[in-house]
Amino acid sequence: MTETTVGIGGAAESTDMVLNIGPQHPSTHGVLRLRLVLDGERVRSAEPVIGYMHRGAEKLFEARDYRQIVMLANRHDWLSAFSNELGVVMAVERMLGMEVPERAVWLRTLLAELNRILNHLMFLGSYPLELGGITPVFHAFREREVLQAVLEEVSGGRMHYMFNRVGGLKEDLPAGWTGRAQQAIAEVRSRMDVHDRLVLGNEIFRGRTRGVGVLSRETVHAYGVSGPIARASGVDFDLRRDEPYLAYGELADVLKVVTREEGDCLARFECLLDQTHNSLALADACLDRLADLPPGPVNQRLPKVLKAPEGATYAWTENPLGLNGYYLVSKGEKTPYRLKLRSASYNNIQALVELLPGTLVADMVAILGSLFFVVGDIDK
């Protein structure tokens, strides 16, 4: 087999073409490169080339104290900042054997679900855009702005909230915030049918996604794929239900783990949309519970210099894009000896090696977009 690189040689009928998608490409959600070997219009092999956005966050964790690493942790997946902070502080709290006040537990659960909705709305809008439908993204950003307003009010940040602290949260809610949050959730819920009708009801969208990019359950397990992508292939696993953390154990009657069996692009989009509906219900349930709780602290009083005891621990969370794991090793100092991050997007994107071969170039963007990844989460 001979290969011809595009732009250098002429492609004869007997040669395969090597095509680079990215690293700057609107469909790659950042600086990702796909190296495709083509046989005519069909992909023979695909190699995701990562590392263009590498910022060395794991190494920087070792040079920051336990308060400062929260700032680094909320930036690798910029659509899931609150959830990223949460995993880090949970790992440190586990090392310290620290109990978080009940009010903080319910507030964290509420804000994590609002962050999940914000994450999903971005992909619910951008995925149809990649297939040629521009209207859904305007609806998605309108709903995002409604929720961004309440999150910005409570934390002071629009993307990087910096609201989690070891032992709880930065501060309590502003006066009247719960009422405004309930109103925002109701407003978003009232308009979610736009995505059901405008996108799922569109025959062109269904034609471009049904039966395309089928990911088998075996491949999900082999590559460690998780989150909505894994559940769209019939893998019925969600940490919020199967290993409850925060207040999810008390929300079992509201929490619905959305699964599909088809494993194609359409199933992945449907899982994301149904999960958004469920997160709205979970956020409402958290607000109802917060209304019943008596006033109380939302954090623990910490020493001026916070040191974790010597040892190691592992905390993992069900982030919007899948499983995030945090392996923390301490030597008893005020900085981590090692904090290894297992990010969802890193594993999920590797499945492209199995998904793309045999498909048409025209379906490549549909498959790539349906994996719902953030490149910063890969190149952490």
- Supply the pLDDT for residue 13: 53
Helix (H) or strand (E) holding 339: strand 338-342
CB 114 within 8 A of CB 163: no
Local confidence band at 3 (pLDDT 50, 70, 90 cut-offs): low
57-374 folds as Cytochrome-c3 Hydrogenase; chain B (1.10.645)
pLDDT above 80: residue 23? no
Local confidence band at 230 (pLDDT 50, 70, 90 cut-offs): very high
* Segment among 17-26, 144-153, 288-297, 298-307 with least mean pLDDT: 17-26
Displacement of CA 3 from its chain's centroid (Å): 37
- Report the DSSP pairing between strands 3-5 and 16-21: parallel
**CA–CA separation, 124 and 276 (whole Å):** 10
Q: What pTM did the predictor assign? A: 0.91
**CA–CA separation, 7 and 19 (whole Å):** 10
Q: Where are the domains of the chain?
A: 57-374
Closest among 322, 224, 336 to 271, alpha carbons compared: 322
Query: pLDDT, tens digit, for every residue of 325-364?
Result: 999 999 999 999 999 999 999 999 999 999 999 999 889 9
Closest among 180, 74, 15, 202 to 127, alpha carbons compared: 202
- 138-156: b or e for each residue (b if 16 or more CB lie within 10 Å)? ebbeebbebbbebbeebbe
Give me the mean pLDDT over the 186-210 stretch: 90
pLDDT above 50: residue 288? yes
- Supply the pLDDT for residue 291: 92
Using CB atoms within 10 Å of the CB of residue 37, give its burial: 0 to 12 exposed, 13 to 18 middle, 19+ buried: middle
DSSP 264-283: SHHHHHHHHHHHHHHHHHHH
